[in-house]
Amino acid sequence: MGGLAGVTAGSSAICTCGLGNGLNYRGYAIQDLALKADFEEVAYLLLVGELPNKAQLKDFQRKIIAGRELPISVKNVLKSIPASSHPMDVMKTATAALGCVEPEAEDFSDQMAKIIRLLGAFPSFLVYWHHWHKNGREVCLKSDETTIAGFILERLKEKKPLAVEVKAMNAMLTLYAEHEFNASTFANRITASTLSDIYSCMTTGIGTLKGHLHGGANEVAIKFVLQFDNVEHALKSVDELFARKEKIMGFGHRVYRNLDPRSPVGFELANELKELETSDPKLFDIAKAIRDKVKAEKGLPDNIDFFGGLIYHYMEIERLYYTPLFIMSRAAGWAAHAFEQRANNRIIRPSSEYTGPEPRDFVALEDRA
């Protein structure tokens, strides 16, 4: 089957999606996790298997905060990466550099410590590179913000984020944290199945996520919405796209046929953020009108990427940073899968259906036409 759609490629206790009961992380509904828990609680759940108690969460957060500072050698690597580089390549390179400086033990005995370190470091990679190349200076990686969501917003924009922004960023990190055997997670598990190190697993995931058919859909979705002046203009354009049988990014999903369970959360977050002084509420009205039209006329539900792009736009995040934010979220899921694969491992080596020529005799170079 094309793209292995419908093929069961392994077993996992981490996540269910599209099985008739929505999206669940370790048995907990995504809607509850996104709106009732901090991302750190969700990351702990994915990595350990249970939600943390207060003491466990405090210790987990303390270790993540300690992981925000970067070695001088990694900072020098970030300085040397050109400003013209794609931010996903920045994240991939910095991850590999940290792996050189602080390698994982060969017996994986420190795997949890390494991923906690990376959860702290991932936002710092982007923040440090951004300020060095955009503002021409180093940025301090210390912050009073205790959550990953707050740290990203505060250090990237260098001003205290609003509570509604932290809430939205926190929820977005949770919504994107895990999604079963998607392309980047499966690639990550393949790397883990070779018993490679956690940094290699992460860079495998990052490289796969960079592809336009996986990460980046929310970038395209918000770019589409931003081109319209009003609802009427948007709906006319949608009709023209329908007539040309062209796709609109942010709609439909291979797993979810009727509803992406993350989408209602994204819709409500965008609805809250449109009230910010810096936000243009008209964009929400346009996006909602497009959503309703596509659903009514084509039967396609919106996925999390459609309103996800608007959420980041309302928080004034640069568009090319949307997918690096995806890394900071999905890393928890990638690591959980890497741990699970290593714990009960057999190298992933599928077979292919051969479509080439039948066996034939070798022809010497001088006898070839």
Note the pLDDT tens digit of each residue in 10-53: 889 999 986 666 899 999 999 999 999 999 999 999 999 999 99
Average pLDDT over residues 206-218: 91
Active-site residue (options: 197, 260, 302, 305):
305
pLDDT of residue 319: 96
**CATH 1.10.230.10, the chain: domain bounds:** 217-314
Q: Using alpha carbons, select from 221, 312, 315 the residue that is nearest to residue 277.
A: 315
Pairing of strands 28-29, 23-25: antiparallel
Helices (H), the chain: 30-36, 39-48, 54-66, 72-80, 87-101, 111-134, 148-157, 163-175, 183-193, 198-209, 217-226, 231-243, 263-273, 281-298, 304-314, 322-343
Burial (CB count within 10 angstroms: exposed 0-12, middle 13-18, buried 19+), residue 319: middle
Q: In 3D, which of 161, 301, 181, 283 has the Cα closest to residue 224?
A: 283
Residue 272, by phi and psi: left (phi above 0), alpha (psi -120 to 50) or beta? Answer: alpha
Match 């860079």 to its residue by tokens.
Answer: 203
pLDDT band at 343 (very low <50, low <70, confident <90, very high): very high
Residues in the chain, how many?
A: 369
pLDDT at 81 over 80: yes
Say what the pLDDT of residue 5 is.
67
What is the pLDDT averaged over residues 60-75? 98
26: tokens are 């370790």
Amino acid code (one letter) for 69 = E
User: What pLDDT is stored for residue 252 in this prediction?
Assistant: 81
What type of residue sits at position 188?
N
Residue 1 has pLDDT above 60, yes or no: no
What is the residue-averaged pLDDT of the chain? 95
From 110, 131, 214, 285, the catalytic residue: 214
Q: Can you identify the CATH homologous superfamily of domain 217-314?
A: Cytochrome P450-Terp, domain 2 (1.10.230.10)
DSSP state of 357: P
The answer, yes or no, to whether residue 142 has pLDDT greater than 70, is: yes
pLDDT higher than threshold 90 for residue 3: no
Banded pLDDT at 271 (limits 50, 70, 90): very high
pLDDT, position 2: 65
Residue 209, token pair as written in the block = 């996520």
CB atoms within 10 A of CB 35: 14
Question: Is residue 59 pLDDT above 80, yes or no?
Answer: yes
Both tokens of 238, joined, read 């949608």
- Predicted local confidence at residue 20, as pLDDT: 60
Average pLDDT over residues 104-132: 98
Q: What is the pLDDT of residue 255?
A: 78
User: Residues with Cβ < 8 Å from 356, sequence gap 6 or more?
Assistant: none
The pLDDT score that the predictor gives to residue 212 is 84
């319209």: which residue's tokens? 228
Residue 233 catalytic? no
| Closest residue by Cα to residue 133 from 192, 88, 197, 80 | 80
The verdict on whether 305 is a catalytic residue reads: yes
Q: In the chain, which segments carry CATH 1.10.580.10?
A: 13-211+322-343
pLDDT of residue 22: 83
Out of 253, 302, 313, 337, which one is annotated catalytic?
253
Q: Which residue has the higher pLDDT, 181 or 256?
A: 181
Name the superfamily (CATH) of residues 13-211+322-343: Citrate Synthase, domain 1 (1.10.580.10)
Cα torsion 220, 226, 227, 230 to 10°: value is 140
Q: Would you state the pLDDT for residue 17?
A: 85
